[in-house]
Structure 1
Amino acid sequence: MVFECQKSPYKKEFTSKVVSCSPCQIERLVQGKKEKVQVFEVLLEDTVFFPEGGGQPDDRGFLNGIPVLQVKRRGKDAIHFLQDSLDVGTLATGVIDWERRWDHMQQHSGQHVITAIADASFGFKTTSWWLGESVSHIELDTVNVTDAQLKTIESQVNEKIREAVSVEVKVYEGDAIPDQVRSRGLPDDHVGPVRVVTILGVDSNMCCGTHVSNLSHLQFIKLLYTEKGKKNKTNLFFISGNRVLDYINRSLDRERQLTKILKNGPEDHVDLANKLQALVKLSQKTLQTLMKELAVVQAEKIKSEKPKFAIVHRKDGDADYASALISELASEAITLLITVGEDNNGQMTLIGQEDVVSSLGPKICSCLAGKGAGKGNKFQAKVTQLNPSARQEAETILRDYFQ
């Protein structure tokens, strides 16, 4: 299981003979949903397309101009899944998506050096890892990683990058693998020789992935944060290489936007955000008090009119306002429909005698485009249609019932 992509990870194009081509189905995301689509599985004599494995996603690109949708390993073979067929026995020219390949090389080699340093410095063993689309993580066999330990690992990792340590790949047959080589085991269907990736003086590890030839190609590694993992383990999230530059650019863009909004320099952003948050909380508390007072006034008005039913709508109202109004009118023999919130994000509450509520609740809920349920003398629902037309329809339902 040593393909051209593993021998020459920097190669971007290649030509190889088509060994087989047959129709099949694969699952693809179509408009956000997984669907089975008809494709062709193509086997070549060799390939520079990396088949997913070892925590590294597969390569993408083109074969004879046809998009390569997936590449998977099947025993000793790499299977390419294409939109169209290729003639068996002909030569196929492949061009890989180099930006994707280079990113995967940087993240995978980054994982190796982080794993080695975390183990050598603190005895944190790596039990698995995941190469994500924007951020990757390593599962470490430890309950916790302190900020000081993170800082030490990051410092030592980037020191190795500055030293421009070489990365070598050797192929071994069976029992010839040196004892010091680290491994989490081979796949059950592994066939053939074993590749060992060695970061000189740092780590030797069995691996099928594509790697940089020198740690200097990683540019920089940034350890982002940790999260509690499964079974008393810790997930360490990181970015490497070009992803660090992208991260910095996005952070600077947000910083510039915040500077414009807050009208102050980056060093004051946190203080200003805290002050704004405190002001918002105070405003919300004041608004809640005013809404409750408004509910009392509204309730007194309704009591003075002594109607059979009443409809109250407040765009700026909330659940507290509705509860206060209901509480003020609890002793009144009245059917009350309250709606609060925006047109596409609101709430309705119908209060009254049980027979009235059970009869009218679902109907009013339906015309306000909501989902809810009734219990006793109350029907409540979240609604998404509070425009004047829908509210007029709800009012008509009430009027017709009491006529």
Structure 2
Amino acid sequence: MALQCQQNSYLTEFSSKVVSCNPGQLVISKKKKQPGYEVILEDTILFPEGGGQPDDRGKINDVDVIRVTRKQNQAVHFVETPLEVGSEVKMEVDWTRRFDHMQQHSGQHLITAIAEAKFGYKTTSWDLGSKVSSIEMDTPTITLEQLSELEREVNECIRRQIPMTPRLLEPGSPELEQVRSRGLPDDHIGPVRVVEIEGIDHNTCCGTHVSNLAHLQAIKLLSLEKGKKGKTNVMFVAGNRVLDFVGRAYDREKGLTGILKCPPEEHVEMADKLQKSLRISNKTCTGLLRDVAVLEAQRYKSQPNRDPVFCLHRKEGDSEFMNIIANEVGNENALVLLSVGDEKGAGTFLLSGPADVVEAVGPKVAEVLEGKGAAKRGRFQGKATKLANLKLAEEVLREHFKTQEAA
């Protein structure tokens, strides 16, 4: 038996009776479970997940349906409020979500059928994503020319307004041997549902589909990605998602036009020029920062009665900046505390000096800066989450020297 959602995917409201309502739990994550009720109805317009298609959302008597799963030939609706067994209830489907799933799933059938007929590329799996869907094809490579040809042909089929029709076949029917299929679920019982694109494809499928390819509006094949085990993923959008994709692309184009101060056809060239200019600027800044590191170290070393504690923070510095200073100062009698990053937030730090002293006070400095790190060869390097405590860290170092002098 096919559910109402499979018989008529365009049905948005439907009445049925409650067959059972039992306490249950919805697994949100490994540590989180939501209590509620598992409801089975005589029939439903809410599609349970299956065939690569996510489940529907909707309402039963104004009660939100949070999940719909399949149990053999029945749909199990998960709700937070119990429903009276034997009572008649009214269902409503979230049509925006449903129609989007219909368009993507039907689009996948069409792309799969044309790719196999035209190039011999079989579909091994597919994923209906929240924004972009993908089809895994059993081929290591697909050329851009083939992708363009595939896109032209699927959209030509849409323009021809070809009907798409579901029907039921009895198990063992000779006709089933001619139907494209990746197999049935182990717990399948009853007739086998087949979805036909007239003159193009016959495929076993439990999902909801458009009744005519014209309802797909358009399909855009976006890109190719390397799949697992010598396969290729074809990324696509269908129907309303094409309009959404174009809208977002246009908004980005407008934004880039304003920033780059050039027409859209020059965006790539201008961005490339800016990147090259940025690389040159970064290289120059890096060289200057290294020179500053050497000068800071020399300035400290040139002091006639220099402080045994040298602390320096530079927001735009990096690990190499700190290491240059530490190398220039050396691990003699001075304790050098260097830090880079947001002086009021997180960053990295380096403590250098005599190895035994660094190993003793390094963990204390890390604790004050609410970070962690490790000592190695007279240096303690780590990450800090609270560089605002640098003054307190400096006090830890000075306290060490006071203790040493007192001893």
TM-score (norm 2): 0.95
Amino acid in structure 2 at the alignment position of 1:391: L
Q: Report the more deviating stretch, 324-333 or 93-102.
A: 324-333
State which of 112, 115, 128 in structure 2 corresponds to 1:115: 112
The within-5 A match list for 1:181-260 is: 181-260=179-258
Question: For the residues of structure 2 that align with 1:372 and 1:46, how far apart are their CA atoms?
Answer: 61
Amino acid in structure 2 at the alignment position of 1:152: E
State which of 59, 68, 73 in structure 1 corresponds to 2:70: 73
Q: 1:288 touches 1:320 (CA, 8 Å); kept in 2?
A: no
Question: For the residues of structure 2 that align with 1:316 and 1:73, how far apart are their CA atoms?
Answer: 56
Structure 1 match to 2:18: 18
State which of 147, 163, 167 in structure 1 corresponds to 2:164: 167
Structure 1 match to 2:365: 364
1:315 paired to 2:312? no
Question: For the residues of structure 2 that align with 1:202 and 1:50, how far apart are their CA atoms?
Answer: 25
- Residue 371 of structure 1: CA displacement? 2.4
Q: 2:331 touches 2:353 (CA, 8 Å); kept in 1?
A: no
- Residue 34 of structure 1: CA displacement? 5.5
Question: For the residues of structure 2 that align with 1:337 and 1:211, how far apart are their CA atoms?
Answer: 66
- Residue 322 of structure 1: CA displacement? 1.1
Mark the CA change 1:172 to 1:51 in structure 2 (over 3 Å): closer, same or farther: same
- Residue 331 of structure 1: CA displacement? 6.0
Structure 2 match to 1:265: 263
1:32-73 superposed Cα distances (whole Å, 9 cap, x missing partner): x86101010000000000000000000001100111010000
- Residue 318 of structure 1: CA displacement? 1.3
Question: For the residues of structure 1 that align with 2:398 and 2:275, how far apart are their CA atoms?
Answer: 45
Instruction: Show structure 1 runs of 5+ residues with no match.
Output: none
Q: Secondary structure at the match of 1:2?
A: coil
Question: For the residues of structure 1 that align with 2:367 and 2:242, how far apart are their CA atoms?
Answer: 51
1:46 paired to 2:47? no
Q: Report the more deviating stretch, 363-372 or 135-144.
A: 363-372
Structure 1 residue runs of 4 or more that deviate by more than 6 Å after TM superposition: none
- Residue 320 of structure 1: CA displacement? 2.1
Question: For the residues of structure 2 that align with 1:229 and 1:307, how far apart are their CA atoms?
Answer: 60
* Percent identity of paired positions between Structure 1 and Structure 2: 51
Mark the CA change 1:272 to 1:133 in structure 2 (over 3 Å): closer, same or farther: same
1:131 paired to 2:128? yes
Q: Report the more deviating stretch, 313-322 or 181-190.
A: 313-322
Q: Report the more deviating stretch, 70-79 or 374-383.
A: 374-383
TM-score (norm 1): 0.96
Amino acid in structure 2 at the alignment position of 1:116: A
Structure 2 match to 1:3: 3
1:318-370 superposed Cα distances (whole Å, 9 cap, x missing partner): 12211221221226432111101124341100111122111211111122222
Mark the CA change 1:292 to 1:7 in structure 2 (over 3 Å): closer, same or farther: same
Q: 2:332 touches 2:354 (CA, 8 Å); kept in 1?
A: no
Structure 1 match to 2:392: 393
Structure 1 match to 2:279: 281
Q: 2:362 touches 2:375 (CA, 8 Å); kept in 1?
A: yes
Mark the CA change 1:228 to 1:21 in structure 2 (over 3 Å): closer, same or farther: same
1:56 paired to 2:53? yes
